[in-house]
Amino acid sequence: MPARWLEIAIAVDNTLISFHGRKKVEQYVLSLMNIVSNFQSFKYILNVDVWLERRRTESLVSAIYQDPSLEANIKIIVTRLILYEHKKQGVVRPGNAKKSLENVNAWNRRLHASLDPDEPRHDLAIWLTRSDIGGPSGY
């Protein structure tokens, strides 16, 4: 079965960076993605929207998204990893899941609109935080 690609942009806010440390948070996030799928990552790491580095990362762990029961061969690609180190850059509103979701969606729309035509696009955006947004989700 031919592979299908799910390209993901991941934002990490200051709560996660403070908890894991600036040097370890990238590895933590990529490990999370490793659990989800056997992924290849062609990513841009951003710090306050400044390009820091570009590199290719590959993982060898197999696969929730490649399980035969799905009748799909889905590969995860992290196209962009953005680190927001300052609290004022966060879009999550503690205790307000609805507003947090609206803010993350608006952030994703702004991110897409700001990309140059030759920059990679993503299919899905994920905002990682340790903040309690209220509701059933949590860290």
Residue 109 is assigned to a structural domain of this protein: yes
Extended strands (E) in 39-92: 40-47, 50-58, 74-83
The DSSP output letter for 107 is: H
pLDDT one-digit tens code per residue, 56-113: 333 333 356 666 777 777 777 888 898 998 888 888 888 888 899 899 999 999 999 9
pLDDT one-digit tens code per residue, 86-98: 888 888 888 888 8
What is the pLDDT, as a whole number, of residue 127?
92
At residue 53, does pLDDT exceed 60?
Answer: no
Residue 134 is assigned to a structural domain of this protein: no
Residue 39 is assigned to a structural domain of this protein: yes
User: Domain containing 113 — which CATH number?
Assistant: 3.40.390.10
Residue that wins the pLDDT comparison between 51 and 125: 125
Residue 62 is assigned to a structural domain of this protein: yes
Residue 59 structural domain: 4-128
41 burial via Cβ count (<10 Å: 0-12, 13-18, 19+): buried
At residue 134, does pLDDT exceed 50?
Answer: yes
Element (H, E) at 100: helix 97-114
What is the pLDDT, as a whole number, of residue 88?
86
Q: Which residues, 6 or more positions from 127, have their beta carbon under 8 angstroms from its beta carbon?
A: 10, 11, 13, 91, 92, 104, 107
Residue 137 is assigned to a structural domain of this protein: no
Number of domain units in the chain: 1
